[in-house]
Structure 1
Amino acid sequence: MQKVETRWQTKEGLLQLIKELVHIQSITGSKEEISLALYIQQQLQLLTYFQNNPEHVKLHPTGDGRFSVAALVKKEGATNTVVLVSHFDVVNVDDYGKWKDLAFRPDELTAQFYENAHVLPADARADVESGEWLFGRGIMDMKCGVASQLALVERAANGLFDGNILLLAVCDEEVNSKGMISTVPLLLEWEEKYNLHYVACLNCEPMFARYPGDSTKYIYTGSLGKILPGFFCYGKEAHAGEPLAGLNANMMTSYITCELELNTDFCEEVEGEITPPPTSLLQRDLKKEYSVQTPHKGVSLYNVFLMEKSIMQITDELRAAAERAARAIEGAYRKQAQQFATLQCSVPQEMSVRVISFAELLSYANQMYGRERIAALTAQGQDERELAISYVDEMVTLCSELAPCIVLFYVPPFYPAVSSRHHEGIRTVTKCVLTQAWEQYGIAIQEQKYFGGLSDLSYTGLSQPLDKLSENMPLWGTIYELPLQELQSLHLPVLNIGPVGKDAHKWTERLDVAYATGPLQELLRDAVEQLLNP
């Protein structure tokens, strides 16, 4: 008779697992991120199923020294398989201030917050005093989700699902999603190797408020996409005593930001859901030391969310914004030059700013200076974004005759938008979850078409060509690439059912313990069973 293992099936056991996962300080890029992958693998290996099938659980390398964890529970004769996706990395804890040392110790941190409730924001103070919430970095985003999925794997290992469960617990979701991207080929490999039929991909990211004060509970049938455009501004150098003899890059980037920051023209609406407007993630000049030479090179990056827009469409819109900024820069320069000329009794000069894409810049550089010389250009930086910026800098500096100019380019990461709101199976399961939550627990849950925070569900398929992205992303295929062919082969329906939490990526991040260890687990179990047996 098979041994029934229930370490994570009770409320107490699940909560203990959540705390153990939080205790490991798996900040993206840290040694502890690797340690947590090893811990998850070791915990799974304690299950009798994996002791009998050791090849079904493995560390999957990302290629940079880190690992994700893949684990398959295969039921004899079954092909239908639900893929469980979760991430175990977290953002850093600098925002915790004097409580930084307690950020990964939920019980102690919550106790400290209770004793110092007066310093908390009002909503966090109410939650800590209720005694129903637990605080800590990653507890909602998304160690609770990881624990919930491990509990589902344990349940599958006990033979309690009529189908197969494939867990992907991945690293690096908070930065570049290398964990999920690197497992895409593994999904296809195991699909063939173990004769699997993937019926859906289930994520357990926490619910996110759509606006401040939103207390609605959600499940998600898709996930927002994201593109990260950059604008490299190459002006014209000048002495600070002759500013009108040049064009300051800081002025140029400021006009770009005025065009894009919070510009609701870039908001996309699908069935009543709206993407947040763009916002600046970086803006600076590239002058390395102090001098009285004006900065003539600058760069800015912007977060832009997508739902159904194509890359071609958003590229056209971004270029149009850059053109408007260029004309505004020319107009502002002309006005000030003319006013100064009346004071100085001089002749004002004109300043013309061209807008080009990185693809156009690369084509021009190859034609003018030769492919061999362009191929020899180098880039410097600590991460993929810095490397891309450095590469554009090298190329546009070589082609300085194009200045003043604004170069539109893209940097990593790119998240494709994904939605299964029209998928019959996902619609059926979603309706059942909402009904069960209300009838069994009196909990009202709403369907949201797109998860408001980025998620690894983006890498479960690909619905549009990415030519405009790849040709305008410096060093595509070197510092960043996506397994395009494999993604096109996957096309998994997606669903996200997760815990109730608040303040992800804030020092007041917290989890509703009662919901996480109670109703959520029942909803997940029933949803998995329905996905396996549509």
Structure 2
Amino acid sequence: MAMWQTKEAMTDLLCEMVRIPSISGSQAEKDFPELIIKKLSEMDYFLQHPDDLQQLFAEDGRSLVSAFVRAPEPTAKTVILFSHFDVVDIKDFGKWQDSAFEVKALTQQFYREMDRLPQSVREDLASGHWLFGRGSMDMKSGLAVHLSLLEMASQGTFSGNLLFISVPDEEANSVGMRAAVPHLLQLKNKYNLDYRVALNSEPMFSLYPGDDHHYIYTGSIGKIMPGFLCCGKETHVGEPFSGLNSNLMASLVTAEIELNTDLCDQDEGKPAPPPTNLIQKGLKSGYSVQTPHHSVTLFNLFLLERSIAELSELLLRKATSAARKIEALYHDEAEKYAKRTGSSASHQTVRVQTFDQLIHEAERSLGKEKVAQMIDAWINQYRSMDDRGLSILIVDQLAAYCNTLAPMIILFYAPPFYPAVQSHHHQRIQATVKKIQDHAQNVYRTKLIEQHYFSGISDLSYIGVPANRSSMDQLRGNMPLWNHGYSIPFTEIEALSVPVLNLGPVGRDPHQWTERLDVDFAFGPLKELLIDGIHELFKD
């Protein structure tokens, strides 16, 4: 008997999955795979082939689900269905937090309080085919569609194999996907599989406010997190020109980087969004009348075609520009103050360097073995910190041991890193996209526009063909946590290099309290388009 082959059944499945509050890092996220394993284990196919259904554990105890359904006739051709089951938190829901994971109850509450909602939300509510709730759009609806497709595969619908992979931690550090990569390579080698595509169903993302176009994506945008540790010189607040305030330094670095379109990567003339700040703070602990002398500023920056080496050169140029502005501001104000007090003005020179250069300075002073021991000790002592905080701490502590170099600005990279991947020139992907676009237009009067990169960031970055295959040495050397609790299996990713495709549901307001799903499209046209696309991928 079919479990998930009607809109009503898929909606019920969605509601059941959303009801589990699988926020990244929570116990519910750890528990969620048990629901999927339980449901899939009841299918006739997995009753007959229990070894093809697996729960695999990542290094931190969270787990992913792998379910392999073979075609009726033996074949190597395999489509991978990717999804994630973690969601972001619900603090933004305010008075509606208690209903954030109850899809139908929350939708009904919004109907009753429609006059308090934004106009665009009221319009969607009035249409009658939108459901609300955390994870309804991103991405438990895509997960529900994939489970429906897997059930179809178990009944012999497709001429090739389907491999279902659903992971935790996509919204944070992609621990689940990084653990999945070796598993995918192992299956490929064990069964000599031909991975035709890595197919994700992340929801469509608007390119601008009010965008109501529909998209299909042949790649996934890259993401990197450059940080700048600003080391000034401490002084008493009564003698500010005897030192250099690191908060001033960080402010000018942020002003140099924030929304700077010079740093927008491009794909065929189309720019990625500009960098924006995620963390800026002084690192002084507690109150005193000593000025801050260590501060940090950390950014989100998107990658398309640019290499890490090219990016590092650009960032160092921007940091150098900020350094000259810091020096000029300090000089000008010191000169003015000196004239008013009859004193002589002091000057500051700010050096700019990378974390790789900093660690070599520390090793020259303390020895390589000693520096390695110190870093291991800090990681063990502060293991409760997240990866960003721990990265900042390591740079900060090493800079303190090299304080004779101050004032200085140190460029480093913090996790997570997502390589940009693209498949828009791949012949099979081109044929599949055209097939899906024609179907959407002819049957549903829907125009699907191809975008080379999914802009919402996705785990496809860890399996697809890299947009830029240049060496990652600049990343490894300037990421404090590299091989200290964070790494990316680049060798396995290169060995896989699977073409990627993303076609998902229509939704609105990801990561907002008004997150919602067009349920009619998700469990109707979307599923049919994916079926058509999978058939096309198994041709030749």
Unaligned runs of at least 5 residues, structure 1: none
SS for the counterpart of 1:78 is coil
Over 6 Å off, 4+ runs: none
- What amino acid sits opposite 1:68 in the alignment? L
Assess if the C-alpha contact under 8 Å between 2:414 and 2:481 holds in 1.
Answer: no
What are the residue-to-residue correspondences of 1:332-343 with 2, within 5 Å? 332-343=329-340
In terms of mean alpha carbon deviation, does 29-38 or 302-311 score higher?
29-38
**1:6 corresponds to:** 2
Distance in 1 (CA, whole Å) between partners of 2:123 and 2:361 is 60
Deviations 1:140-165 (A, max 9, x none): 10000101111111011011110100
1:168 and 2:165 correspond: yes
Q: 2:96 is matched with which residue: 99, 112, 137?
A: 99
Displacement of 1:248 in angstroms is 0.6
Displacement of 1:269 in angstroms is 2.1
Deviations 1:196-246 (A, max 9, x none): 111110000000000111110001000000110000001000111111111
Distance in 2 (CA, whole Å) between partners of 1:78 and 1:215 is 40
Q: 2:510 is matched with which residue: 504, 507, 522?
A: 504
Deviations 1:106-133 (A, max 9, x none): 1110111111111111101111122110
Alignment: residue pair count = 530
1:427 and 2:430 correspond: yes
Identity of aligned pairs, percent?
48
- What amino acid sits opposite 1:213 in the alignment? G
Assess if the C-alpha contact under 8 Å between 1:273 and 1:449 holds in 2.
Answer: no
**2:470 corresponds to:** 464
TM-score normalised to structure 2 length: 0.97
What are the residue-to-residue correspondences of 1:383-462 with 2, within 5 Å? 383-461=386-464, 462=466
Q: 1:305 is matched with which residue: 287, 302, 307?
A: 302
SS for the counterpart of 2:170 is coil
**2:135 corresponds to:** 138
SS for the counterpart of 1:453 is coil
Displacement of 1:272 in angstroms is 4.4
SS for the counterpart of 1:27 is coil
1:526 and 2:526 correspond: no
What are the residue-to-residue correspondences of 1:28-427 with 2, within 5 Å? 28-75=24-71, 76-377=73-374, 378-379=377-378, 380=382, 382-427=385-430
In terms of mean alpha carbon deviation, does 343-352 or 267-276 score higher?
267-276
- What amino acid sits opposite 1:306 in the alignment? L
Unaligned runs of at least 5 residues, structure 2: none
Distance in 2 (CA, whole Å) between partners of 1:34 and 1:366 is 40
TM-score normalised to structure 1 length: 0.98
Assess if the C-alpha contact under 8 Å between 1:22 and 1:104 holds in 2.
Answer: yes
**1:490 corresponds to:** 496
- What amino acid sits opposite 1:479 in the alignment? G
Displacement of 1:447 in angstroms is 0.5
SS for the counterpart of 2:138 is helix
- What amino acid sits opposite 2:320 in the alignment? E
- What amino acid sits opposite 1:172 in the alignment? D
Distance in 1 (CA, whole Å) between partners of 2:485 and 2:396 is 16
SS for the counterpart of 1:155 is helix
Assess if the C-alpha contact under 8 Å between 1:228 and 1:414 holds in 2.
Answer: yes
Deviations 1:242-267 (A, max 9, x none): 11111111100000110010001111
Displacement of 1:532 in angstroms is 1.6
Distance in 2 (CA, whole Å) between partners of 1:128 and 1:243 is 58
Could you say what the CA RMSD is over the residues aligned between the two structures, in angstroms? 0.9
Distance in 1 (CA, whole Å) between partners of 2:261 and 2:401 is 36
SS for the counterpart of 2:262 is helix
- What amino acid sits opposite 2:371 in the alignment? I
SS for the counterpart of 1:141 is coil
Distance in 2 (CA, whole Å) between partners of 1:142 and 1:464 is 32
